[in-house]
Amino acid sequence: MLSILIVEDEQAIANLIHISLSDEGYRCTCAFDGKQGADLIEQETFDLILLDIMLPEFDGYELLEYIKPTGTPVIFLTAKGAVSDRIKGLKLGADDYIVKPFQIGELLARVEAVLRRYGKSEKQLAVADVFINTDSRSVTKDGRSVDLTAKEFDLLVELVRNKNVALYRDRLYEKVWNEPFTGETRTLDTHIQRLRKKLDWEERIRTVFRIGYRLEG
């Protein structure tokens, strides 16, 4: 499931976006000021961030600087008429902007377009001789079907969507299990072992010292 962070201090707008995107099958988290947004970005990995500009604590521009090193796509939510804000946002590296008030259809279209551009909404994923279909949740290797548990599948998709990126154990765990990481790494590690074995990927899923794992693709 793709996860979206909404940083917006107007509760009504944040709720509207939350409801609309949840209906479309995205997992949404809301932050109502810049500080809360920064804390969430530090703790979790998101596939996309919707970012208001005028925010209490840190504003959207400050937050964008904070987001950039993570490589997470950003869509700015800007007030009507603030053309200079839009230009500044794009110059600073935002992927797109949406002018408030907006139609839900436009929001969805822009969210989908940015996710597509980053290859995050692909339903068919491939690494080497392994093919994954996220609609049917099926996996084949060398044309033969591979039997994975639900968590093994989710973990595989997460690794593949972030291939060649070193993923932190805690973030990987929280993304796949959707619960806070307690420091207990056995669950994640045994799932990785099983994936390596089932896919014959002993070499391809690398252990990254003191960080976690990286899939080489």
C-alpha dist (Å) from residue 1 to 6, 71, 137 = 16, 18, 12
Bond into 101 cis (ω within 30): yes
Sheet holding 96-100, edge to edge: 27-31, 3-7, 48-52, 74-79, 96-100
Please name which of 161, 181, 173 lies closest in space to residue 212, comparing C-alpha atoms.
Answer: 173
CB of 116 to Ca ion, least distance (A): 27
Please name which of 71, 62, 54, 47 lies closest in space to residue 13, comparing C-alpha atoms.
Answer: 54
CB of 33 to Ca ion, least distance (A): 9
Q: Which is nearer to Ca ion, 41 or 159 (CB)?
A: 41
Rule CB under 5 A: say whether 57 interacts with Ca ion. Answer: no
CB of 191 to Ca ion, least distance (A): 40
Rule CB under 5 A: say whether 54 interacts with Ca ion. Answer: yes
Give me the residue whose beta carbon is nearest to Ca ion.
54
CB of 76 to Ca ion, least distance (A): 11
Residues 58-117 binding Ca ion (CB under 5 A) are: none
Rule CB under 5 A: say whether 44 interacts with Ca ion. Answer: no
Residues 132-151 binding Ca ion (CB under 5 A) are: none
From 53-61, 82-90, 122-130, 138-146, give the range in contact with Ca ion by CB under 5 A. 53-61
DSSP letter, residue 27: E
Rule CB under 5 A: say whether 52 interacts with Ca ion. Answer: yes
Residues that bind Ca ion (CB under 5 A): 9, 52, 54
